[in-house]
């Protein structure tokens, strides 16, 4: 009997497919880590991340190259489930021939009739949903895509009904008003009623990103333990795979008494009592990047969130005739507030897919905009760059992006090269370069802080390198200066918000001078949850230090 792959660490599998696959894995690993001092020989049982150094984007590149090499289509879930080259080999052997993109070229507009009024008098997120359920309960709210071609529709009434069931389950499990509930859920139908169910029960949602791979669940939970402790979560809503490790969490998190699935909550079949919720109650704890070591949970009230949603919508001229297309993760403020809650407020349909879907097939984002005549979409700069690098012309034959009016680019530094190249390449597919809108925001401002006027296009400032590096003075450079630095402007402060630039002593600096950005406005946080020292450092008088 031949040795199993795990027993043949140093010998390639006899099958020719395995030889070719391992050669590709080995060469890409070296390409991604050219300066590694000790190259690891790829074997079928090598661990892709630990042994060969494949992070999430590296896995995307590996799957794309495997598809091109073998002329196949691999399932998107392989990004999350593959741990070794042997897992990839099994997927390659089981895969069918390459097929067209999952998003059809046919146009299926989801734009709806304009809603004449809006929840302008709503003071909480609960009142916003109540308003829509009274005004148009059957109006489609979300079109949710999985790996396949079809989309699942969620109406406003269905959202509220599901949220009420979750709220009843939470109260049946002892949730008290004001207590925090962590959500460790991927993009999917369960997320929306879980979030609103927590609010309906009087709780505070704490979204936390789920593990990308099942084999990392235990390690992932340990790394999130500091956040869960700081938030003093009473319950954790998650999936069965994570629920099985509840003992691990319960031993580390004081006060965490229940780890439960959305299905278990919804099956309680009891009535719930809706507590009184005010505009100044906390609606969300948003933990900032890097919070796993020293948790910083941004306190955002209903008033903060609604003020930010209204301010962004005012500048973007958002209406119920818009169609928002998104793959952004819902545990992050750009996806949660910018894509979902903003779409909910303005009654514009939200076409949503998983971040893994985008990473595996970036063209599906663009095809979704084509198919549903999307008018608004948002992403970090890396996503626009990924489209430039990973999408071939054959993948987007017949693509039409002419409906895309606002391409928001934020959440990380915006590259002038990326926005220029994206506009140049995709203009032949109907994209208007002036639709690109670099924006600036941060969790401490709820989300958005500065937006450019719609349709202006990227404004790129060229400055002289030497005075900027020497004294922090941004002197305009000549057009023919080859050493000029380029920076992308991110717009002006949103209505009801102010921004200033100060030096190290807290005094405002002059125009075109480097300094620290401080801000204030209706959507700014009151501080960090249970972190008085970080809160103290955040404020400079009434101003918040970014």
- How high is the pLDDT of residue 95? 81
Structural domains of the chain in order of their starting residue, each with its CATH number: 5-94 (1.10.1200.10), 157-301 (3.40.50.980)
Pairing of strands 460-463, 204-207: unpaired
Average pLDDT, the chain: 88
Residue carrying structure tokens 């230090």: 545
- How high is the pLDDT of residue 101? 45
Mean pLDDT, residues 126-148: 92
3-state SS of 60-97?
HHHHHHHHHHHCECCCCCHHHHCCCHHHHHHHHHHCCE
DSSP assignment, residue 7? Answer: G
What is the tens place of the pLDDT at every residue in 306-343? 999 999 999 999 999 999 999 999 999 999 999 999 99
pLDDT tier at 82 (50, 70, 90 boundaries)?
confident
Determine phi and psi for 232, rounding to 5 degrees: 50, 50
Residue carrying structure tokens 């691990």: 248
DSSP β-bridge partners for residue 540: 543
3-state secondary structure (DSSP) of residue 244:
coil
Question: What are the structure tokens assigned to 102, written together?
Answer: 């999952």
What is the tens place of the pLDDT at every residue in 25-38? 888 888 887 776 56
Question: What are the structure tokens assigned to 206, written together?
Answer: 């704490």
Q: What is the CA radius of gyration of the chain?
A: 24
pTM: 0.86
Q: Are 5 and 44 in contact (CB under 8 A)?
A: yes
pLDDT above 60 (res 9): no
Alpha carbon distance 383, 399 (integer Å)? 18
Alpha carbon distance 323, 351 (integer Å)? 7
pLDDT above 90 (res 196): yes
3-state secondary structure (DSSP) of residue 443:
helix
Burial readout 277-314 (b: 16 or more C-beta within 10 A, e: otherwise): bebebbbbbbbeeebeeebbbbbbbbbbbbbbbbbbbe
Mean pLDDT, residues 150-172: 95
Higher pLDDT, 391 or 151: 391
pLDDT tier at 100 (50, 70, 90 boundaries)?
very low
pLDDT tier at 214 (50, 70, 90 boundaries)?
low
């Amino acid at each position: 009997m031949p040795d199993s792959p795990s027993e043949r660490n140093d010998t390639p599998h006899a099958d020719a497919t395995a030889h070719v696959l391992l050669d590709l894995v080995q060469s890409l690993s070296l390409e991604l880590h050219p300066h590694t001092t000790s190259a690891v020989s790829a074997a079928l049982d090598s661990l892709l991340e630990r042994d060969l150094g494949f992070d999430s984007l590296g896995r995307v590149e590996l799957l794309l190259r495997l598809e091109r090499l073998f002329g196949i289509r691999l399932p998107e879930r392989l990004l999350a489930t593959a741990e070794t080259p042997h897992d990839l080999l099994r997927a390659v052997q089981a895969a069918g021939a390459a097929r067209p993109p999952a998003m059809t070229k046919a146009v299926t507009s989801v734009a709806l009739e304009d809603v004449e009024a809006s929840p302008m008098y709503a003071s909480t997120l609960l009142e916003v949903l109540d308003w829509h359920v009274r005004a148009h309960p059957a109006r489609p709210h979300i079109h949710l895509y999985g790996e396949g071609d079809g989309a699942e529709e969620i109406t406003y009434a269905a959202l509220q009904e599901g949220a009420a069931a979750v709220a009843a389950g939470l109260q049946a499990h002892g949730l008290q008003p004001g207590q925090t509930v962590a959500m460790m859920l991927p993009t999917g139908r369960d997320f929306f009623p879980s979030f609103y169910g927590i609010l309906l029960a009087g709780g505070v949602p704490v979204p936390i990103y789920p593990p990308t791979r099942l084999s990392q669940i235990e390690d992932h939970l340990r790394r999130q333990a500091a956040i869960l402790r700081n938030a003093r979560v009473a319950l954790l809503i998650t999936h069965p795979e994570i629920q099985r490790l509840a003992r691990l969490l319960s031993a580390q998190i004081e006060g965490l008494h229940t780890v439960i699935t959305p299905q278990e909550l919804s099956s309680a079949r009891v009535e719930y009592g809706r507590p009184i919720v005010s505009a100044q109650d906390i609606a969300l704890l948003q933990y900032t990047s890097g919070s796993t070591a020293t948790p910083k949970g941004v306190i955002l009230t209903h008033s903060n969130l609604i003020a930010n949603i209204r301010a962004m919508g005012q500048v973007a001229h958002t209406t119920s005739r818009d169609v928002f297309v998104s793959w952004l993760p819902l545990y992050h403020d750009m996806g949660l507030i910018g894509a979902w809650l903003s779409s909910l407020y303005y009654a514009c349909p939200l076409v949503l897919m998983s971040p893994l879907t985008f990473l595996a097939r970036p063209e599906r984002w663009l095809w979704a905009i084509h198919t549903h005549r999307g008018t608004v979409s948002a992403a970090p700069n890396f996503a626009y760059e990924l489209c430039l690098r990973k999408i071939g012309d054959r993948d987007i034959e017949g693509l039409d992006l002419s409906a895309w009016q606002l391409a928001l680019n934020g959440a990380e530094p915006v590259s002038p090269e990326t926005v220029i190249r994206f506009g140049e390449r995709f203009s032949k597919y109907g994209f208007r370069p002036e639709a690109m809108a670099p924006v600036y925001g941060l969790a401490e401002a709820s989300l958005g802080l500065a937006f450019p006027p719609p349709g202006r296009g990227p404004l790129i400032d060229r400055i002289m390198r030497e005075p900027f590096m020497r004294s922090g003075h941004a002197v305009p450079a000549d057009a023919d200066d080859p050493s000029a630095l380029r920076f992308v402007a991110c717009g002006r402060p949103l209505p009801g918000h102010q921004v200033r630039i100060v030096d190290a002593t807290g005094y405002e600096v002059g125009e075109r001078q480097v300094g620290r950005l401080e801000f204030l406005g209706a959507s700014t946080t009151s501080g960090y949850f249970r972190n008085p020292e970080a809160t103290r450092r955040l404020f400079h008088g009434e101003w918040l230090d970014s």
